[in-house]
Structure 1
């Protein structure tokens, strides 16, 4: 991943750091997480775990799709590297085994190329942003309207 404000995708370095600190707090005796003499809220740590879990699920799903559609003709580790590079929008590749000076993705069929493209978009936008965009707007649930009284009959 990249740092916040950067152009890279994937899990941000701050999210990864918060994830590690959250795991240390979970295992250790002190449950507090302190960064730069500031307490980190539990909701922020939960969000980091959510981002990591959704990202891991997406990368594994994409990798298995690549294995199913490209695995017979490509190296398993090369496919994993290509997927992780796409998710992080890194721009690295192991290279094509057939054509000189091109990405391994150049050898993929249309399904493999779509998987790589979706991984790049998902990695750049981020799982939390996508989850917020896909959630149905609930409105303000704290508003209570007065009881309707009408004559019927």
Structure 2
């Protein structure tokens, strides 16, 4: 004798079997809700965005000796012990001051500027990673030149 099964019953059975297959493929057992948190290492990320400096930068004859705007994004990863107090973090003004200091030096490439700024930040206590993105808005007539450098302390 043939059985008639409703569409809802078929969908429910299919959903149950799909869930069982997913559970069987899962390699990590589910944890009880009250498991103590495992020890982990954390990194605090701080940074500044859209910092503008005027730099003596470029390789074209009309760029040499003429200060041009650069737009900077700087992201610093701090060691896990950093950030609890003002004494063990990085003051944002310090990043801006270093960028201003580097802007005073003659630099040919935005890649070089980005690397020098990242290296300077990485020399500070607690900084374990430094990512610097430099944009040079006037480098192209129809776009913005951009370079990004990421460094990791070893």
Q: TM-score, normalised by structure 2?
A: 0.27
Q: TM-score, normalised by structure 1?
A: 0.27
Higher relative contact order (CA closer than 8 Å, sequence separation 6+): 1
| Larger fraction in helix | 1
| Larger fraction in strand | 2
